[in-house]
Structure 1
Amino acid sequence: MEEIKDSSVLRPYYDPETFNVNYPAVFRPDKGVIDHNGLNIASKLTIVNQSASGSLKSLNGKISGGSTLAELTTGLKSKFLDGIMSPNQGSGSKSLNDLEWNDMINLNVWRQLMEKLLKQLSSKYFQHLIRQPFEISKLLLQVGDFDHLIGDKKSSAYHDDNDSGYDNDELEEEDDEAEPNFFVNESQVTAIEKATKHEQGDLNENGTLIKPASLDMIDILNSIMDKEGIQGVWRANNTEFIYNFLSVSLDAWFTGLLSPLLQIPDPYFIDIIHSPDVAKSAGLILLASCMSRLVLLPLDLIRVRLIISSVQSDDPLLDNDRSLRKLIRRWSWRENISKLDKDLVFLNIMYSLVGTSFSKLTGALLYHQFNIDKFTNVVLYNTMKFVSKVCELFVRLPIENLLRRSQVKFLMTENPFQIKRDAMIIKPREYVSTYQTVFKQYGRIGELWRGWRLGLLSILCGYSLKILNKPEEVLEEEKF
């Protein structure tokens, strides 16, 4: 069968000059794609930006020949003149007038924006209210010394067990007029001295110490409720919320400030896995996190001060001011930066580096090293993130514990936020330095992981929700 080379034999009714059915653009073999005015589609492209028609004429005079160039310049000049004579039809004016300025004076746009912001803030604040009591109990467990309470309970239980065998009749038969024993041994003297010091210590605390039944977080919260009521459970609530808000805001501000200098995209707008230089992006994230934490160091000290101090102490001699506005005015970097311990600054930097490395860089590591992402491997990705968060918990907790103890030590020294022992609700754990705590008190090294049960439970709940939900919009999102 012979091949038919002429398409007109198959479609004798087709006339390329008239068969356009009023389309806005038609393809002509000899001219290309043209519009209904007969102009080539190339005339629609803004490839030359001239401010006067004289420049276009000079360009056409220098380069002559061919009808395509004439059509191109004619289309550009007509579009340029249309934009001058009719500003409403110009693309630039329309974008400026109809979009930007109208949005600025449009009350509906502002109303929708404010509603969205209020909804997000209320949601975050509600989540913060639920988490705050547990954060308070965890911090008190980290910095408090509850050995005297536990020791008293153990000793009382021991004496109760030994004394249970005695009969009341035998006690009645004892001689009331027995001569007292003036000769006591050394162990009895030591026990009497310890009891006396313990009673004097309780008196010196003015009754502000909480007395939990055990080291469980629920017992800590119950003891706070018994001592100071519902107000004590949500102490430093607003300060904590402001600190978290400013931490995220400063993080984003520092990354936006430094990313142009490093010639990399802002990690808050473009994920680090899409960065042209992952190493620079990772370094920027870590640097911004450390800078934010150091800038907010005074606010963090105020937060710890409000948590460990009593909310009912009105004694002016104790200086237990609980106003964030008044406390923050006391701080001056010029005068107080020299008072900061090197240990305190070092632990702040370490805490920031560990938390940011696990939380923000795990996704980039999984993608670039193991080719695992949250779009194609949802279950595996969430499982690896769960493992990463568990590792972060057990690495971060000791550093956080040491940081809180160093903050309490600093608060008890002479500084703008100084707090006296009588105003505290806990007996502070003795802290000298990181080296002293880790290497010379190795018998109590396990105390550095206090609060791990709550952290692990939170991670398990988050992992379960991500596995059970599996939102379709996340799975269908395009991966670049």
Structure 2
Amino acid sequence: MQDSRQYVPNPLRPYYVPPSIGTDALANATSSAPKSSSQGSGFTFPDIDYADYIPEASPSLTGSIKSYIDQAFWKYTTVVLGQPFEVAKLILQTRVAQEDEEDEEKPRNRHRYQYEDENKMNGYNGYEEHSSDDEPNYFTSAAPFEPPSSSRSPARGRRGRPPRDLASPRANDRHQDSSGRIHLKNPHSLLETLSALSSNGGALAMWRATNSTFVYNILNRTLETFFKGFLAAVFAVSENDILSSSAGGAVPDPSILTSTTPAATILISTAAAALSAWVLAPIDAARTRLILTPSTEGPRTLLGTLQALPTPYLIPAHLLPITFFTSTLPTLISTSTPVVLKSYLGLDPAMNPASWSVATFLGSALDLSIKFPLETVLRRAQIATWTSPAHSPPKPSSKRKAITTIVPVPQSYRGIIPTIWSITREEGFSETPKDKTAALMGKAPRRKRKGQGIEGLYRGWRVGFWGLIGVWGTSFVGGLQSGTEAATSEAGVHGGKF
């Protein structure tokens, strides 16, 4: 008897040919094919390998925990390696330049100058050796030698040098004073700042607020992702398009080009960055205080510092505008750069890899040029939360203790534009290269202009710039290696020009 399940041509479908695989008859005909577990279904696929299409089994609980620990360790290591430079940059940004930086060296050299003047008045020339009259004569008499007494000869140490208390200050004392503050001759030098920190508080002083920075980075990334997904659901935008575009990186991410609604993606990413910055503004302000205060200034924990805010655990009102602009403008530039390059300049990351790389580098440089002045104003507004009387707690009965900082910081915060004006036109002094060259050559007296100019807004810019160079160089080389053969040859021709 013929099997009823065997295929019989249908007269209504004379040209239909069933597939050669999948029928139970063919499966039974081949001895190597396994039997189907479901006898009721008429089709099986024994010859298809699903290993390439189905991902591996979900990891175990132990594997998941180990993966999270490895990621956390890697991120913490990244924070530890970059924290000294971030600390130095923040110190340079918040430090108020003095009217004349040279005046800081005069009190420390006053005793040495007085000692030299007294020696010259008494007939001595600096730190010269003992004269021949002061040397003992070992060949005239056997009497014990007595040093000649002279009222004009001051006490001297070994080799005729002045005593230690009158000598020039030691190398590790020239950067600090009795109040614990560090002194910097060059207000733009990162290395001098790191040296002053290590001389003042030891090597560990360069890693101030490392744990607070790690907590802030983790929460910032988490909250920004959450707000992106939330806003995407509210405005009916594809969540995959929003989450795939990562903003805030050193190099713009071209994944936004695959978005179906790039304008909405840019706006949602910018809004998510602003909301995340507002929520975490108290932690950022607490981190600034932990970096700028000495180790003897309490509290030294993140929770204790948050409780010391005028509005505990909440962002102070004066930080709202500057925090908004600091978080939104760089994010807006970073996310919109790929769209502008693709739509208006006709550049494509796959067809023009070298030109795309150079254009994104210029966009990132523009991002840094806007971010650094705003960040300088933000840091000064954050430390003014504890130093300005205008931001005191609303309760008049509460007593606030004035904090001690390791560098001179602003005692008040008047707003974004007034702070920028104060840095460029009121703080410290500046010299043009022409005036400096003329003064060194003796052709003209030294001319100093009040204010630091635009350069004062970009203290510590080397940290961000060299970080951008490193990330951009790595992505450029990686793009050359992973691109197609044509793109690789084109990028290689232009790569020598960089």
TM-score by length of 1: 0.64
* C-alpha distance in structure 2 between counterparts of 1:439 and 1:146, whole Å: 14
CA displacement at 1:37 relative to structure 2: 9.1
Aligned to 1:404: 379
Question: Does residue 340 of the first structure (1) align with residue 317 of the second (2)?
Answer: yes
* C-alpha distance in structure 2 between counterparts of 1:222 and 1:261, whole Å: 51
* C-alpha distance in structure 1 between counterparts of 2:215 and 2:313, whole Å: 24
* C-alpha distance in structure 2 between counterparts of 1:396 and 1:436, whole Å: 18
- CA deviation map 1:429-448 (0-9, x unaligned): 35433232334653334311
Aligned to 1:426: 407
Aligned to 1:131: 82
Q: Does the CA contact (< 8 Å) of 1:264 and 1:275 recur in 2? A: no
CA 1:401–1:135 in 2, change beyond 3 Å: closer, same or farther?
A: same
CA 1:330–1:468 in 2, change beyond 3 Å: closer, same or farther?
A: same
User: Which of these residues, 151, 167, 185, is aligned with residue 102 of structure 2?
Assistant: 151
CA displacement at 1:345 relative to structure 2: 1.0
CA 1:206–1:340 in 2, change beyond 3 Å: closer, same or farther?
A: farther
User: Which of these residues, 218, 223, 231, is aligned with residue 191 of structure 2?
Assistant: 218
Q: Does the CA contact (< 8 Å) of 1:236 and 1:307 recur in 2? A: yes
Bigger drift between 405-414 and 383-392 goes to 405-414
- Mapping 1:81-92, distance limit 5 Å: 82=40
User: Which of these residues, 322, 326, 330, is aligned with residue 300 of structure 2?
Assistant: 322
TM-score by length of 2: 0.61
Letter matched to residue 426 of structure 1: V
Aligned to 1:142: 93
Q: Does the CA contact (< 8 Å) of 1:348 and 1:403 recur in 2? A: yes
CA displacement at 1:419 relative to structure 2: 7.9
CA displacement at 1:334 relative to structure 2: 9.0
- State the percentage of identical aligned residues: 21
What is the RMSD of the two structures over their aligned residues, measured on CA atoms?
A: 4.2
* C-alpha distance in structure 2 between counterparts of 1:307 and 1:256, whole Å: 34
CA displacement at 1:363 relative to structure 2: 1.7
CA 1:462–1:120 in 2, change beyond 3 Å: closer, same or farther?
A: same
CA displacement at 1:333 relative to structure 2: 6.6
Question: Does residue 232 of the first structure (1) align with residue 205 of the second (2)?
Answer: yes
* C-alpha distance in structure 1 between counterparts of 2:401 and 2:17, whole Å: 84
* C-alpha distance in structure 1 between counterparts of 2:18 and 2:468, whole Å: 62
Q: Does the CA contact (< 8 Å) of 1:273 and 1:368 recur in 2? A: no
Aligned to 1:241: 214
Q: Does the CA contact (< 8 Å) of 1:351 and 1:400 recur in 2? A: yes
- Mapping 1:140-179, distance limit 5 Å: 140-147=91-98, 150-152=101-103, 168-172=119-123
CA displacement at 1:125 relative to structure 2: 2.0
Bigger drift between 150-159 and 254-263 goes to 150-159
- Mapping 1:6-45, distance limit 5 Å: 30-35=14-19
Letter matched to residue 381 of structure 2: S
Aligned to 2:474: 465
CA displacement at 1:167 relative to structure 2: 9.9
User: Which of these residues, 259, 275, 289, is aligned with residue 291 of structure 1?
Assistant: 275
- Mapping 1:377-416, distance limit 5 Å: 377-412=352-387, 413-415=391-393
Structure 2: gaps spanning 5 or more residues: 1-11, 24-36, 125-150, 152-176, 246-254, 426-450, 486-498
CA 1:276–1:36 in 2, change beyond 3 Å: closer, same or farther?
A: closer
Q: Does the CA contact (< 8 Å) of 1:259 and 1:284 recur in 2? A: yes
Structure number with bigger Rg: 1
User: Which of these residues, 258, 261, 265, is aligned with residue 231 of structure 2?
Assistant: 258
- CA deviation map 1:244-286 (0-9, x unaligned): 1111111111111111222222211363222222211111011
SS in structure 1 of the partner of residue 452 of structure 2 = helix
CA displacement at 1:109 relative to structure 2: 3.6
CA 1:211–1:334 in 2, change beyond 3 Å: closer, same or farther?
A: closer
* C-alpha distance in structure 2 between counterparts of 1:110 and 1:38, whole Å: 38
* C-alpha distance in structure 2 between counterparts of 1:37 and 1:460, whole Å: 57
CA 1:238–1:82 in 2, change beyond 3 Å: closer, same or farther?
A: farther
- CA deviation map 1:3-38 (0-9, x unaligned): xxxxxxxxxxxxxxxxxxxxxxxxx99332314599
Aligned to 2:419: 437
- CA deviation map 1:330-349 (0-9, x unaligned): 66979956x522xx211111
Aligned to 1:300: 284
* C-alpha distance in structure 2 between counterparts of 1:299 and 1:274, whole Å: 35
User: Which of these residues, 215, 232, 257, is aligned with residue 273 of structure 1?
Assistant: 257
CA displacement at 1:237 relative to structure 2: 0.2
CA displacement at 1:243 relative to structure 2: 0.5
Bigger drift between 256-265 and 367-376 goes to 367-376
* C-alpha distance in structure 2 between counterparts of 1:167 and 1:349, whole Å: 60
CA 1:336–1:253 in 2, change beyond 3 Å: closer, same or farther?
A: closer
